[in-house]
Amino acid sequence: MQKRKLGRSGLEVSAIGLGCMGMSFSYGPPKDTQEMTAVLRHAVEAGITLFDTAEVYGPFFNEELVGEALAPVRDRVAIATKFGFDLSPGRDPRSSPGLDSRPDHIKAAVEGSLKRLKVECIDLLYQHRVDPNVPIEDVAGAVKDLIGAGKVKHFGLSEAGAHTIRRAHVVQKVTALQSEYSLWWRRIEDGILPVLEELGIGLVPYSPLGRGFLTGKIDANTAFAANDFRSALPRFSPEARQSNQTLVDLLSSIGKRHGATTAQVALAWLLAQKPWIVPIPGTTKSSRLDENINATTLTLSATELSAIGTAGAAVQGPRYPEKLEQITGR
């Protein structure tokens, strides 16, 4: 497995990580614990060293799954998790959790994550979403305290805007930004990527396969279960899927020339953008995991990269409903 460093932080991880959310959250009902444990341990044996989870995935039981599965190989992996939502017992469980990045809440959340992950120190701790009610300097200061106490190694942000990244970085150096980035969603290219390069911050793209669309396994006729959150996303409407099929067809044709899958071409394009980008595609199958890993050995020509980029720029449909989009990119 190839390795990459997340910016200038010194944190070196596998060129592709594993997003664990879908094992127990958002994509239908939670998967079988024993099966997911097998996938997680297979990932380690295959060379993956970066595993991504969050307290809100479940809530809580995704961290428990990851912690239990990786406990025997803790010295071989880096575990990333996230804080930033109100998951207190008194809240209405039928409602979406609100944002909460108050320093005291951050420190309490970290104590819970440490126990669930069965670790003494979290390798990479992200603020899950920017909280407009808490100055980012206070958030960075709280994480700085946790780093000083030996409970966290690296600080990250998720879906943060350029100004927020700069302000946080002054207080506590930011190791990585986790944001959606792929041929499916490229808005961060203009305002965010230059700032990351300037400050020496790595990028960890989530949904690097467009929530499955860039695998070529989804088309306009695909039906999603009611508890699959893609059913509520504008970009997954039948009309948008039909419009965006052109991109998938191009990826497929290029893949055939290389003996590669559509998903591998999409990941290879992403890996070629910057040497400090580490995608975290999610999967619940060991075979798909191996397929994703093999994308690191695929080299696309400049002509192919250009053609793919041009096609990707024409993707149609909003990423999220307006309400959700409002809490990203602050």
Positions annotated as catalytic residues are 57
Calpha distance 251→216 (Å, rounded)? 9
Residue 122: partners with Cβ closer than 8 Å, 6 or more residues away: 79, 80, 81, 110, 113, 114, 151, 152, 153
226: amino acid identity, one letter: A
The angle formed by the CA atoms of residues 290, 293 and 294, to the nearest 5 degrees, is 90
Report yes or no: 43 and 287 within 8 Å, Cβ to Cβ: no
Report yes or no: 6 and 17 within 8 Å, Cβ to Cβ: no
Calpha distance 196→7 (Å, rounded)? 8
Going by their DSSP bridges, the two strands 3-5 and 12-14 should be labelled as: antiparallel
Continuous H helices in the chain: 33-46, 61-70, 103-117, 136-148, 162-171, 188-191, 193-199, 238-258, 262-271, 286-293, 302-312, 322-325
Record the tokens describing residue 158, joined without a space: 């998720």
In degrees and rounded to multiples of 5, residue 289 shows phi and psi of -60, -50
> What helix, strand, coil percent values describe the chain, rounded to 5?
45, 15, 40
Calpha distance 70→81 (Å, rounded)? 14
